[in-house]
Chain A
Amino acid sequence: MKISELFDRGEFVVTAEVGPPKGIHIEHVLEEAKTYLSGITAVNVTDNQSSVMRLGSLATCKALKDEGLTPIFQLTCRDRNRIALQSDLLSAAMLGIDNVLCLTGDHTKMGDHPQAKPVFDLDSVSLLHTIKQLESGVDLGGNELVGEPPKFAKGAVVSPCSDSVDAQLAKMERKVAAGADYFQTQAVFEPEKFIKFMEKAKQFGKPVQVGIIIPKSAGMAKFMNNNVAGVHVPDDMIEELKADKEKTKAGITGVEIAARIIKECKPYCQGVHIMALGWESKVPALLEQAGI
């Protein structure tokens, strides 16, 4: 099922992401996903997230699909040239995986193989363009595909709380022109910035899911402020996380904060995308508190 169909029906779409393990034992990921994420629309599978080598996104997507979940295949341009990207897209379609999220990807220097060659033959925009071309039955080299071409719900990302939000909007417009059907955002901790962003982004007419991270501790919040692009946790939230250490450790404070952000953003967007970062077990409580 393509999640774009749900947006078209006006549904508030909930997705969450899981990260494949660094190894071949996927039982734990599948168990968590089945237990905590089966009630939501779809599950993103990250693609060697943060440039750290792991089990493949596509294989994990297939395993989730076999368990009855709807996977979203995250695809970055860091590790594959246009031939490998297109080939993997055909493989995904053949396996019945028809949701894809297109990203440029972190630089190889950010991860655990800093010696690796960064590819970036295509980028998030030209990858969307490539998928659109495949959908028309022609590959990027101009060669015809045999038989029925694949069809995808083509997702893209945007960073609404970035300090260069106008440049982000310009890039978003390029992604729309290249074929993006929907957007998931970087984590939002400042709903007022997100709402301002949406006032400008709504002109593109594409559904946007607000990105949510459940903050686990004041230390994590500070780490994100110093190291994660486009993410800023305000001081009062950090104080809130500091106030009652036990409550924070149990995830109660984080879930409260995240639920509040979702409630504030919900009237302005078409869905929510949760990056649980290992706290998949908190997702059901979060959605309940957020009234979804």
Chain B
Amino acid sequence: MLITELKSKETIVSLVDGKKVFIINCHGCKEVHFPEKEAAEFQKELADSGNVTGIMTKDYICNPENLKLRIQKYMDAIEAADAVLVFSCGVGVQTIAEYLGDKPVYAACDTYPLPGFQGVTPLEYDCKQCGECYLNLTGGICPITACSKSLVNGQCGGSKDGKCEVDSNMECGWERIYRRLAQLGRLDVLKCPTQVRNYATDEEVSK
């Protein structure tokens, strides 16, 4: 099971400030605790500013086939937006970012683990439920699961012909991130401050 928790209001606003946004909620699987009420309140505030081109609320968006079917009728509203803001666990954000390709996709939530069954996640994407979602700094590709060293400040020197030093069948996650950011025209994101991971996911310690 897992808990999704809204990132701070300031964090989310800084991502979408002045931009037209399309919002996607995943009310997902019963294994996820989703902050429905807080998300709705925040989204109403955003909508009042007049910058929201549409809201889609579905379940199981982590399933690429399901997402593809359900997102179609919203594509005009997504086209009209500068960015897509996703309220879901880390897998949902990655699925949408991959599907939309050159549209910036941002995570509005952090995902924390709870013991138990982990929901219906496809094999292509994974979320380690690290509680400090990096997807907004990496073009929607998770460096924790896509990099064998879970590096958060860029690639190591170990990739050869685009493949990871650990597994020659695995693409270097950071090369994928670099290509995606280039595709989005957002290589400037790589100039963000040095990231230091916080393993103290226990709330009392981390705050």
* Chain A interface residues toward B at CB < 8 A: 82, 104, 106-107, 109-110, 118, 120-126, 128-130, 140, 157-159, 162-164, 166-168, 170-171, 173-174, 177-178, 186, 227-230
A164 to B151, CA, bound (A): 17
Given contacts A124-B156, A167-B155, contact A173 B190 (CB under 8 A): yes
For B175, the closest partner residue in chain A by CB is A164
Q: Is B191 a contact partner of A177 (Cβ separation < 8 A)? A: yes
Q: Is the CB of A107 within 8 A of B160?
A: no
Q: Are B194 and A178 in contact (CB under 8 A)?
A: yes
Contact B194 A126 (CB under 8 A): yes
How far is A32 from B152 in the complex, measured between Cα atoms in Å? 39
- CB of A171 within 8 A of CB of B155, answer yes
Known: A126-B194, A167-B178. A104 touches B162 (CB 8 A): no
Given contacts A163-B161, A164-B162, 19 further A-B contacts (CB under 8 A): A104-B151, A106-B165, A107-B158, A109-B166, A110-B165, A120-B151, A123-B149, A125-B153, A125-B194, A126-B153, A128-B194, A129-B194, A158-B157, A163-B160, A170-B154, A170-B187, A171-B153, A173-B190, A174-B154
Question: B131-158 CB contact bits vs A (8 Å, 1 = yes)?
Answer: 0000000000000000011111111111
Encode B161-193 as 1/0 by CB contact (under 8 A) with A. 110011000001011001000000001001101
Given contacts A129-B196, A162-B157, contact A123 B152 (CB under 8 A): yes
Q: Is the CB of B165 within 8 A of A126?
A: no
Closest-CB distance, A2 to chain B (whole angstroms) = 22
Across chains A and B, the number of contacting residue pairs, with CB separation under 8 Å, is 94
A128–B153 Cα gap in the complex (Å)? Answer: 12
- Kindly report which residue of chain A lies nearest to residue B193, judged by CB atoms: A177
Interface residues on chain B, number (Cβ under 8 Å): 30
Interface contact B157-A186, CB-CB below 8 Å: yes
Selected A-B contacts with CB under 8 Å, 21 pairs? A104-B151, A106-B158, A106-B165, A107-B148, A107-B166, A121-B197, A123-B156, A125-B154, A125-B194, A126-B152, A128-B194, A140-B196, A164-B162, A167-B155, A171-B153, A173-B190, A174-B194, A178-B194, A186-B157, A229-B158, A230-B160
Q: Verify if B117 is at the interface (C-beta below 8 Å from A).
A: no
Distance, CA A170 to CA B191, complexed state (A): 8
Chain B interface (Cβ < 8 Å from any Cβ of A): 148-162, 165-166, 172, 174-175, 178, 187, 190-191, 193-197, 199
Of the residues A110, A162, A178, A186, contact of B166 by C-beta under 8 Å: A110
Question: In angstroms, how far is the closest chain A Cβ from the Cβ of B180?
Answer: 12
> What's the Cα separation between A260 and B199 when bound, in Å?
49
The answer to whether B194 touches A121, judged by C-beta atoms less than 8 angstroms apart, is no
Would A174 and B157 count as touching, CB distance under 8 A? no
| CA A123 to CA B162, docked complex, whole Å | 20
**Pairwise interchain contact A229-B190, C-beta atoms closer than 8 A:** no
**A230 contacts B154, C-beta separation under 8 Å:** no
Closest residue on chain A to residue B189 by CB atoms: A170
Choose from A126, A157, A159, A166 the contact partner of B195 (Cβ within 8 Å).
Answer: A126
- Verify B160–A229 contact, CB threshold 8 A: yes
Chain B residues positioned under 8 Å from A140 (CB to CB): 196
**A177 & B187 in contact (Cβ 8 Å cutoff):** no
> In the bound complex, how far is the Cα of B168 from the Cα of A109, in angstroms?
13
